[in-house]
Amino acid sequence: MSFERNVFCLVLISLLIFVLIISIIFLKTNFLKSFNKQEQGHIQLKKELEIQLLDAQMVTLEEERKRISIGFHDEISPLLAALKNQIRILRLTELNPKSNTCQIEQVNSLITQIIENHQILIGNLASRIELAKQLSAAMQEYLNSISSFKVNFEEEISEGLSVDIDTLNNVYILFKELIHNIVKHEKISSLNVHLRIDHICLYLSISHDGIGLSNDQYLKWINLKEGKGLSSIQSRLNRIGAKMELFSMNEGAVIHIKSPINHA
Protein backbone atom coordinates (compact mmCIF):
# COMPACT_ATOMS: atom_id res chain seq x y z
CA MET A 1 0.00 0.00 0.00
CA SER A 2 2.86 2.29 0.83
CA PHE A 3 4.44 1.50 -2.48
CA GLU A 4 1.27 2.35 -4.40
CA ARG A 5 0.95 5.58 -2.45
CA ASN A 6 4.51 6.52 -3.32
CA VAL A 7 3.86 5.75 -6.98
CA PHE A 8 0.68 7.80 -6.89
CA CYS A 9 2.50 10.73 -5.29
CA LEU A 10 5.30 10.47 -7.83
CA VAL A 11 2.84 10.44 -10.70
CA LEU A 12 0.95 13.36 -9.18
CA ILE A 13 4.14 15.34 -8.71
CA SER A 14 5.18 14.52 -12.27
CA LEU A 15 1.81 15.71 -13.56
CA LEU A 16 2.08 18.90 -11.53
CA ILE A 17 5.59 19.54 -12.87
CA PHE A 18 4.36 18.81 -16.41
CA VAL A 19 1.42 21.20 -15.98
CA LEU A 20 3.75 23.80 -14.53
CA ILE A 21 6.16 23.45 -17.47
CA ILE A 22 3.28 23.66 -19.95
CA SER A 23 1.94 26.72 -18.13
CA ILE A 24 5.37 28.38 -18.19
CA ILE A 25 5.73 27.65 -21.90
CA PHE A 26 2.21 28.94 -22.54
CA LEU A 27 2.78 32.09 -20.53
CA LYS A 28 6.16 32.66 -22.16
CA THR A 29 4.64 32.21 -25.61
CA ASN A 30 1.82 34.65 -24.83
CA PHE A 31 4.29 37.09 -23.30
CA LEU A 32 6.49 36.95 -26.39
CA LYS A 33 3.46 37.40 -28.64
CA SER A 34 2.28 40.34 -26.54
CA PHE A 35 5.78 41.81 -26.45
CA ASN A 36 6.20 41.43 -30.21
CA LYS A 37 2.78 42.94 -30.76
CA GLN A 38 3.64 45.93 -28.55
CA GLU A 39 7.01 46.29 -30.24
CA GLN A 40 5.35 46.24 -33.66
CA GLY A 41 2.87 48.81 -32.36
CA HIS A 42 5.75 51.02 -31.16
CA ILE A 43 7.52 50.62 -34.49
CA GLN A 44 4.32 51.50 -36.35
CA LEU A 45 3.71 54.49 -34.07
CA LYS A 46 7.30 55.64 -34.57
CA LYS A 47 6.88 55.38 -38.35
CA GLU A 48 3.62 57.34 -38.18
CA LEU A 49 5.25 60.04 -36.04
CA GLU A 50 8.19 60.23 -38.43
CA ILE A 51 5.77 60.61 -41.34
CA GLN A 52 3.86 63.33 -39.48
CA LEU A 53 7.12 65.11 -38.70
CA LEU A 54 8.21 64.92 -42.34
CA ASP A 55 4.79 66.19 -43.44
CA ALA A 56 5.06 69.09 -40.99
CA GLN A 57 8.55 69.90 -42.22
CA MET A 58 7.37 69.80 -45.83
CA VAL A 59 4.45 72.11 -45.02
CA THR A 60 6.80 74.52 -43.23
CA LEU A 61 9.29 74.46 -46.09
CA GLU A 62 6.51 75.02 -48.60
CA GLU A 63 5.20 77.97 -46.59
CA GLU A 64 8.70 79.43 -46.45
CA ARG A 65 9.14 78.94 -50.22
CA LYS A 66 5.84 80.72 -50.82
CA ARG A 67 6.82 83.52 -48.44
CA ILE A 68 10.18 83.95 -50.16
CA SER A 69 8.56 83.82 -53.58
CA ILE A 70 5.93 86.38 -52.59
CA GLY A 71 8.60 88.60 -51.08
CA PHE A 72 10.72 88.67 -54.22
CA HIS A 73 7.65 88.89 -56.47
CA ASP A 74 6.13 91.80 -54.57
CA GLU A 75 9.26 93.70 -53.59
CA ILE A 76 11.92 93.05 -56.23
CA SER A 77 10.14 92.18 -59.50
CA PRO A 78 8.15 95.45 -59.82
CA LEU A 79 11.29 97.50 -59.17
CA LEU A 80 13.25 95.54 -61.77
CA ALA A 81 10.45 96.07 -64.30
CA ALA A 82 10.41 99.79 -63.52
CA LEU A 83 14.19 99.92 -63.83
CA LYS A 84 14.03 98.23 -67.23
CA ASN A 85 11.43 100.78 -68.36
CA GLN A 86 13.51 103.70 -67.12
CA ILE A 87 16.55 102.41 -69.02
CA ARG A 88 14.40 102.12 -72.16
CA ILE A 89 13.22 105.72 -71.71
CA LEU A 90 16.81 106.80 -71.09
CA ARG A 91 17.85 105.33 -74.41
CA LEU A 92 15.01 107.14 -76.20
CA THR A 93 15.92 110.49 -74.64
CA GLU A 94 19.71 110.26 -74.90
CA LEU A 95 19.76 113.35 -77.14
CA ASN A 96 18.29 115.53 -74.38
CA PRO A 97 20.93 116.04 -71.63
CA LYS A 98 18.47 117.64 -69.18
CA SER A 99 16.02 114.77 -69.56
CA ASN A 100 18.89 112.30 -69.26
CA THR A 101 19.89 113.72 -65.89
CA CYS A 102 16.36 113.29 -64.56
CA GLN A 103 16.11 109.73 -65.88
CA ILE A 104 19.50 108.81 -64.44
CA GLU A 105 18.38 110.05 -61.01
CA GLN A 106 15.26 107.91 -61.27
CA VAL A 107 17.31 104.89 -62.30
CA ASN A 108 19.66 105.42 -59.33
CA SER A 109 16.66 105.73 -57.01
CA LEU A 110 15.20 102.45 -58.31
CA ILE A 111 18.53 100.67 -57.91
CA THR A 112 18.75 101.94 -54.31
CA GLN A 113 15.25 100.63 -53.58
CA ILE A 114 16.11 97.25 -55.09
CA ILE A 115 19.23 96.98 -52.96
CA GLU A 116 17.36 98.01 -49.79
CA ASN A 117 14.49 95.57 -50.38
CA HIS A 118 16.90 92.79 -51.28
CA GLN A 119 18.81 93.33 -48.05
CA ILE A 120 15.57 93.25 -46.06
CA LEU A 121 14.47 89.99 -47.67
CA ILE A 122 17.86 88.38 -47.09
CA GLY A 123 17.85 89.64 -43.50
CA ASN A 124 14.42 88.14 -42.95
CA LEU A 125 15.63 84.77 -44.21
CA ALA A 126 18.63 84.90 -41.87
CA SER A 127 16.54 85.78 -38.82
CA ARG A 128 16.47 83.08 -36.17
CA ILE A 129 15.18 84.18 -32.80
CA GLU A 130 14.63 81.35 -30.33
CA LEU A 131 14.28 83.12 -26.96
CA ALA A 132 12.36 86.18 -25.76
CA LYS A 133 15.60 87.82 -24.58
CA GLN A 134 17.13 87.22 -28.01
CA LEU A 135 14.21 89.12 -29.57
CA SER A 136 14.94 92.13 -27.38
CA ALA A 137 18.69 91.98 -28.12
CA ALA A 138 18.09 91.62 -31.88
CA MET A 139 15.75 94.64 -31.89
CA GLN A 140 18.29 96.79 -30.10
CA GLU A 141 21.07 95.64 -32.42
CA TYR A 142 18.96 96.47 -35.47
CA LEU A 143 18.14 99.93 -34.12
CA ASN A 144 21.82 100.60 -33.43
CA SER A 145 22.72 99.60 -36.99
CA ILE A 146 20.29 101.96 -38.77
CA SER A 147 19.49 104.86 -36.45
CA SER A 148 20.83 108.35 -37.05
CA PHE A 149 18.39 109.78 -34.52
CA LYS A 150 17.63 109.50 -30.83
CA VAL A 151 16.39 106.05 -29.85
CA ASN A 152 14.91 104.93 -26.55
CA PHE A 153 14.37 101.19 -26.08
CA GLU A 154 12.64 99.64 -23.07
CA GLU A 155 11.80 96.01 -22.30
CA GLU A 156 9.69 94.12 -19.77
CA ILE A 157 10.09 90.36 -20.12
CA SER A 158 8.70 87.98 -17.50
CA GLU A 159 11.00 85.31 -16.15
CA GLY A 160 10.69 81.68 -17.24
CA LEU A 161 8.96 82.42 -20.55
CA SER A 162 8.95 79.82 -23.31
CA VAL A 163 7.59 81.45 -26.48
CA ASP A 164 7.29 79.56 -29.76
CA ILE A 165 9.94 80.43 -32.33
CA ASP A 166 7.48 81.28 -35.11
CA THR A 167 5.91 84.09 -33.05
CA LEU A 168 9.30 85.52 -32.05
CA ASN A 169 10.68 85.53 -35.59
CA ASN A 170 7.55 86.99 -37.15
CA VAL A 171 7.41 89.77 -34.55
CA TYR A 172 11.08 90.54 -35.24
CA ILE A 173 10.49 90.72 -39.00
CA LEU A 174 7.38 92.86 -38.41
CA PHE A 175 9.46 95.17 -36.22
CA LYS A 176 12.17 95.54 -38.89
CA GLU A 177 9.63 96.21 -41.65
CA LEU A 178 7.88 98.85 -39.56
CA ILE A 179 11.14 100.58 -38.61
CA HIS A 180 12.29 100.44 -42.23
CA ASN A 181 9.07 102.11 -43.38
CA ILE A 182 9.35 104.78 -40.68
CA VAL A 183 12.96 105.60 -41.55
CA LYS A 184 12.19 105.56 -45.28
CA HIS A 185 9.03 107.68 -45.27
CA GLU A 186 9.24 109.82 -42.14
CA LYS A 187 11.53 112.65 -41.13
CA ILE A 188 12.01 111.79 -37.49
CA SER A 189 14.42 112.93 -34.81
CA SER A 190 13.37 110.52 -32.05
CA LEU A 191 12.03 106.98 -31.80
CA ASN A 192 10.71 105.10 -28.78
CA VAL A 193 10.30 101.32 -28.65
CA HIS A 194 8.70 99.44 -25.75
CA LEU A 195 8.65 95.62 -25.74
CA ARG A 196 6.68 93.79 -23.07
CA ILE A 197 6.20 90.02 -22.91
CA ASP A 198 4.27 88.23 -20.21
CA HIS A 199 2.80 84.73 -20.01
CA ILE A 200 -0.29 85.75 -21.99
CA CYS A 201 0.64 88.35 -24.63
CA LEU A 202 3.46 90.13 -26.38
CA TYR A 203 3.10 93.90 -26.60
CA LEU A 204 5.18 96.07 -28.93
CA SER A 205 4.83 99.84 -28.99
CA ILE A 206 6.67 102.08 -31.48
CA SER A 207 6.30 105.87 -31.27
CA HIS A 208 8.07 108.65 -33.16
CA ASP A 209 7.79 112.36 -33.90
CA GLY A 210 6.84 111.91 -37.56
CA ILE A 211 3.41 112.02 -39.21
CA GLY A 212 2.61 108.32 -39.39
CA LEU A 213 -0.66 106.67 -40.42
CA SER A 214 -4.03 106.35 -38.73
CA ASN A 215 -5.98 103.09 -38.56
CA ASP A 216 -8.37 104.36 -41.25
CA GLN A 217 -5.53 105.27 -43.61
CA TYR A 218 -3.83 101.92 -43.04
CA LEU A 219 -7.01 99.92 -43.69
CA LYS A 220 -7.73 102.00 -46.79
CA TRP A 221 -4.28 101.24 -48.22
CA ILE A 222 -4.69 97.55 -47.42
CA ASN A 223 -8.14 97.36 -49.02
CA LEU A 224 -6.89 99.18 -52.11
CA LYS A 225 -3.86 96.85 -52.12
CA GLU A 226 -1.55 99.83 -52.23
CA GLY A 227 1.78 99.58 -50.52
CA LYS A 228 3.19 96.08 -50.78
CA GLY A 229 5.15 96.54 -47.57
CA LEU A 230 1.90 97.14 -45.67
CA SER A 231 0.36 94.02 -47.22
CA SER A 232 3.35 92.00 -46.05
CA ILE A 233 2.96 93.40 -42.54
CA GLN A 234 -0.73 92.51 -42.49
CA SER A 235 0.02 88.96 -43.67
CA ARG A 236 2.45 88.43 -40.79
CA LEU A 237 -0.01 89.86 -38.29
CA ASN A 238 -2.62 87.40 -39.52
CA ARG A 239 -0.17 84.51 -39.36
CA ILE A 240 0.47 84.88 -35.63
CA GLY A 241 -3.01 86.17 -34.74
CA ALA A 242 -1.72 89.62 -33.77
CA LYS A 243 -3.56 92.94 -33.83
CA MET A 244 -2.07 96.31 -34.78
CA GLU A 245 -3.39 99.78 -34.04
CA LEU A 246 -2.00 103.01 -35.50
CA PHE A 247 -2.46 106.54 -34.18
CA SER A 248 -1.42 109.75 -35.93
CA MET A 249 -1.42 112.85 -33.72
CA ASN A 250 -0.13 116.40 -33.83
CA GLU A 251 2.88 115.52 -31.67
CA GLY A 252 3.75 112.30 -33.52
CA ALA A 253 2.58 108.78 -34.28
CA VAL A 254 2.23 105.53 -32.35
CA ILE A 255 2.01 101.88 -33.43
CA HIS A 256 0.70 99.26 -30.99
CA ILE A 257 0.99 95.53 -31.66
CA LYS A 258 -0.54 92.88 -29.45
CA SER A 259 0.15 89.20 -30.14
CA PRO A 260 -1.05 86.16 -28.14
CA ILE A 261 1.71 83.98 -26.71
CA ASN A 262 1.97 80.44 -27.99
CA HIS A 263 4.18 78.65 -25.52
CA ALA A 264 6.91 76.44 -26.96
Q: How far apart, in Å, do the first and last CA atoms of the chain sit?
A: 81
Q: What is the mean pLDDT of the chain?
A: 76
Alpha-carbon radius of gyration of the chain: 34
pLDDT for res 76: 66
Tell me how far the alpha carbon of residue 43 is from its chain's centroid. 33
169 against 155, higher pLDDT: 155
pLDDT in tens, 131-159: 788 889 889 988 887 767 889 999 999 88
Integer Cα distance of 131 and 119 in angstroms: 24
Task: Give 3-state DSSP helix, strand, coil % of the chain, rounded to 5.
Answer: 70, 15, 15
Count Cβ atoms below 10 Å from residue 113 Cβ, excluding itself.
17
What confidence tier does 103 reach under pLDDT thresholds 50, 70, 90? Answer: low
pLDDT in tens, 37-66: 777 777 777 767 766 665 665 566 566 666
Quick check: 195 pLDDT over 90? yes
Give strand ranges (E) for 20-105.
none
Average pLDDT over residues 204-212: 92
Phi, psi at 211, each rounded to 5°? -85, -50
pLDDT in tens, 239-259: 889 999 999 888 889 999 999
